[in-house]
């Protein structure tokens, strides 16, 4: 997942905004508020690559920096709008691209910390600022005088003699203004502003509710005996977490943001497994201040109303217009193609597990809480392969430096130098300077890999400093994961999925680091949502590429390479459990589309949220209790607080492109500099400066084909 979009002007979304109360842009620019000169957010960082000076940034610095940044931004925009000279690309569009520097800087630092190291003060500020930022964005995008200048240029675009990237920039700005409501009447603009402010507040509330509830619903375990099946390290970590939470002498199982919980793959105590799964599924739906059902229905209704105001059938239609999928029908068609074979595979997998349960006298019917544990039993029986065998070979630093970085060196000629002199916001973070093969500096890379109670769930990439051809800024990118931190002195041993996630997120990082565009509007991962996951999913292929795997998969104690016999088992089991994995993802996609293809009048009330979700799954044949959706509505932060509304299908859509590309790379030599250089030059470096599918076609020489995806997931022969 990526969260690297430039957080200013046109690229603000109502989900990531922080701004002032609405102000009309008058001929007289607003006065700038007074702010202490000691505030580190007021000027560019003096650190290498303008890395944020996290050690100097205090909570109290944000509000005044936002106030000044927004006022300064409005002053810049007012000057552009009132310019008596005829509109030109330089004095209007590029001037807008250059505006909002302080607001960008402040917004990025704030987004980083509220996502990864939040606290009650920052949460309160986030809630207060969200609607104000929405209003600030509207004050720009709904300014009639400013839009007239943009429209003037757009109407004359064929006669301006623009280069391709500049022409695309002008086109994108015009579309951004129109999609933001620039063509509406003044009365409708007022209504739209209120909707945007409300959505910003609701999304922030959803995010904060979920984080509080996920922490509050952690499962307290009384005795060590109940944790049978967990490793000693995991038990020690649970004891440490319990002590920190005030449960001395007990054990605490923290919840991750997904429905499935990692301990379920190991715990032999079924009662505890049931308790953990029940806690996970109930998040946000069992009453109290953090119940998200009212928030969800409010968001869905306002999004539907806003779409109608802007002339769209529903929110999904509005969102998909700008994606490579283009239409609701195309997304629905893809999901309909995936759902039946996925569920058929999942049911066969369930039958295999039930046979194991029955043959060992388990005495119970397979349920969601039992899937991970029993799927491992089937894997062991079928492939003589226990995933726990892999963990000693997957130590975090080796995976990063000898795996993720090694693949990047082989493909792109990159080298990585630790920079212990540069710090992130947590002492656990790592910082590397990245160099091209010729020794020229490329970027900074930061890694924040461990879970914390004040860090949002999941994994994501941020561009802390996006590449900018106008200013010459080089990129600073970071990967964030939620790997449980082991006790002091113990190694961080990863699951196979965590290894794949490290390669995935580094694919986003490469997309950001390789960016070579002129305009920040197109920098790095600023591409359609259903394209952004594509390069990162391609990068996952190197996690199991034999040469790369052998290079990093070495026993953390002995240094012995992973045995060939185990590598063979990994390859043989590649399609194992894909029915489950595909079904849980398709189910989440159906939930996303169900909410966002509604008209406002069709949105159920808070008490109907769970029933609505169940009906949507049943309609598509996905009402299979042992495989619940990867996210239920009440904790589906991607779509209600993370920018993926009506867009969670992006992972599947991107995987169509990814699977096709992987096959192309395999047939053209695999892990070679020629392939890496081609991918970098034709796709990774271009950001959003060209149409996304044109970039795909440039690299592969063909149109997307879903067949490689079906083969990869074992769905090609399902029936």
Q: Show which residues are catalytic.
A: 505
Partners of 505 in the beta sheet? none
613, 589 Cβ separation under 8 angstroms: no
One DSSP character per residue, 429-455 reads -EEEEEE-TTS-EEEEEEEEEE--TTS
Chain center to CA of 267: 29
From the CB of residue 499, how many other CB atoms can be counted at a distance below 10 Å? 25
In whole angstroms, what is the distance from residue 510 CA to residue 507 CA? 5
From the CB of residue 647, how many other CB atoms can be counted at a distance below 10 Å? 26
Angle of CA points 280, 281, 286, to nearest 5°: 100
396, 483 Cβ separation under 8 angstroms: yes
Q: Cα torsion for 330, 333, 335, 337, to the nearest 10°? A: -140
In whole angstroms, what is the distance from residue 92 CA to residue 413 CA? 40
Tokens 């964030």 correspond to 480
- Ranges of H-type helices in 250-391: 270-282, 293-309, 315-320, 328-359, 371-383
In whole angstroms, what is the distance from residue 164 CA to residue 525 CA? 19
In whole angstroms, what is the distance from residue 376 CA to residue 393 CA? 18
Partners of 544 in the beta sheet? none
From the CB of residue 657, how many other CB atoms can be counted at a distance below 10 Å? 28
Tokens 């397979």 correspond to 366
Rounded to 5 degrees, what are φ and ψ at 295?
-60, -45
Quick one: residue 19, left, alpha or beta (phi over 0 = left, psi -120 to 50 = alpha)?
A: beta
8, 100 Cβ separation under 8 angstroms: yes
The two tokens of residue 450 are 């461990």
Q: Report the length, in residues, of the chain.
A: 719
> Which residues neighbour 446 within 8 Å (Cβ) at sequence distance 6 or greater?
424, 429, 430, 431, 432, 464, 476, 477, 478, 479
569, 385 Cβ separation under 8 angstroms: yes
258, 498 Cβ separation under 8 angstroms: no
> Which residues neighbour 161 within 8 Å (Cβ) at sequence distance 6 or greater?
none
H helix count then E strand count, the chain: 26, 7
Residue (of 17, 20, 6) closest to 69 by Cα position: 20
Partners of 219 in the beta sheet? 253
The two tokens of residue 653 are 């859509």
**Dihedral sign (CA 256, 261, 262, 267):** positive
Rounded to 5 degrees, what are φ and ψ at 118?
-80, 170
From the CB of residue 418, how many other CB atoms can be counted at a distance below 10 Å? 11
In whole angstroms, what is the distance from residue 416 CA to residue 458 CA? 25
Rounded to 5 degrees, what are φ and ψ at 713?
-90, 5
In whole angstroms, what is the distance from residue 247 CA to residue 253 CA? 12
Residue (of 513, 527, 546, 471) closest to 689 by Cα position: 527
């Amino acid at each position: 997942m990526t969260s690297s979009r430039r957080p200013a002007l046109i690229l603000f979304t109502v989900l990531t905004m922080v701004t002032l109360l609405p102000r009309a842009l008058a001929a007289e620019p607003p006065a700038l508020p007074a702010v202490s000169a000691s505030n580190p957010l007021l000027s560019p960082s003096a650190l290498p690559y303008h890395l944020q000076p996290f050690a100097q940034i205090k909570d109290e610095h944000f509000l005044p920096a936002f106030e000044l940044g927004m006022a300064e931004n409005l002053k810049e925009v007012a000057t552009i709008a009132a310019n008596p000279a005829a509109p030109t690309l330089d004095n209007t569009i590029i001037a807008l691209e250059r505006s909002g520097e302080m607001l960008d800087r402040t917004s990025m630092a704030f987004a980083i910390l509220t996502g990864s190291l939040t606290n009650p003060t920052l949460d309160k500020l986030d809630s207060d600022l969200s609607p104000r930022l929405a209003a600030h964005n509207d004050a720009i995008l709904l300014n009639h005088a400013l839009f007239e200048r943009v429209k003037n240029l757009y109407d004359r675009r064929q006669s301006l003699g623009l280069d391709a990237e500049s022409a695309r920039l002008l086109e994108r700005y015009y579309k951004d203004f129109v999609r933001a409501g620039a063509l509406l009447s003044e009365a409708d603009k007022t209504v739209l502003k209120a909707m945007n402010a409300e959505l910003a507040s609701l999304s922030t509330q959803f995010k904060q509710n979920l984080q509080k509830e996920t922490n509050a619903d952690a499962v307290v375990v009384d005795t060590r005996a109940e944790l049978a099946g967990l490793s000693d390290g995991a038990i020690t970590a649970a004891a440490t977490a319990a002590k920190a939470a005030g449960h001395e002498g007990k054990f605490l199982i923290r919840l991750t943001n997904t429905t499935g919980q990692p301990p379920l793959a190991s715990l032999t105590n079924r009662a505890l497994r049931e308790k953990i799964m029940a806690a996970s599924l109930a998040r946000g739906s069992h009453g109290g201040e953090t119940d998200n059902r009212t928030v969800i229905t409010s968001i869905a209704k306002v999004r539907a109303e806003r779409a109608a105001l802007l002339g769209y059938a529903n929110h999904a239609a509005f969102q998909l217009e700008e994606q490579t999928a283009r239409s609701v029908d195309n997304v629905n068609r893809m999901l309909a193609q995936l759902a039946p074979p996925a569920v058929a595979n999942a049911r066969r997998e369930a039958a295999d597990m039930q046979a194991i349960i029955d043959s060992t006298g388990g005495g119970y019917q397979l349920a969601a809480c039992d899937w991970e544990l029993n799927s491992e039993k089937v894997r062991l029986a079928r492939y003589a392969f226990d995933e726990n065998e892999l963990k000693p070979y997957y130590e975090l630093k080796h995976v990063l430096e000898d795996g993720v970085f090694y693949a990047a060196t082989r493909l792109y000629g990159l080298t990585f130098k630790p920079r212990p002199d540069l710090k992130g916001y947590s002492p656990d973070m790592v910082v590397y300077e990245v160099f091209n093969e010729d020794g020229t500096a490329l970027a900074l890379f930061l890694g924040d890999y461990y879970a914390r109670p004040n860090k949002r769930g999941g994994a994501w990439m941020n561009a802390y400093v996006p590449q900018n051809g106008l200013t010459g800024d080089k990129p600073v990118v970071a990967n964030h994961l939620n790997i449980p931190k082991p006790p002091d002195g113990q190694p961080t041993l990863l699951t196979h999925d965590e290894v794949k996630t490290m390669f995935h997120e580094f694919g986003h990082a490469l997309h950001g680091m390789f960016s070579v565009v002129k305009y920040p509007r197109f920098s790095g991962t600023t591409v359609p949502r259903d394209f952004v996951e594509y390069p990162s999913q391609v990068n996952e292929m190197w996690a199991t590429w034999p040469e790369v795997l052998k290079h990093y998969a070495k026993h953390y104690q002995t240094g012995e390479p992973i045995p060939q016999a185990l590598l063979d088992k990994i390859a043989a089991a590649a399609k194992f459990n894909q029915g489950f994995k595909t079904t849980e993802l398709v189910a989440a996609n159906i939930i996303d589309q169900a909410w966002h293809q509604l008209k406002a009048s069709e949105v159920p009330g808070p008490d109907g949220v769970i029933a609505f979700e169940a009906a949507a799954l049943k309609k598509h044949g996905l009402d299979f209790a042992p495989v619940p959706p990867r996210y239920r509505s009440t904790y589906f932060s991607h779509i209600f607080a993370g920018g993926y509304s009506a867009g969670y299908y992006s992972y599947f859509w991107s995987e169509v492109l990814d699977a096709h590309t992987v096959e192309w790379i395999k047939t053209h030599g695999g892990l070679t500099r020629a392939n890496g250089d081609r991918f970098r030059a034709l796709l990774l470096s271009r950001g959003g400066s060209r149409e996304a599918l044109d970039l795909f076609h440039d690299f592969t020489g063909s149109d997307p084909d879903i067949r490689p995806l079906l083969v990869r997931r074992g769905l090609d022969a399902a029936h």
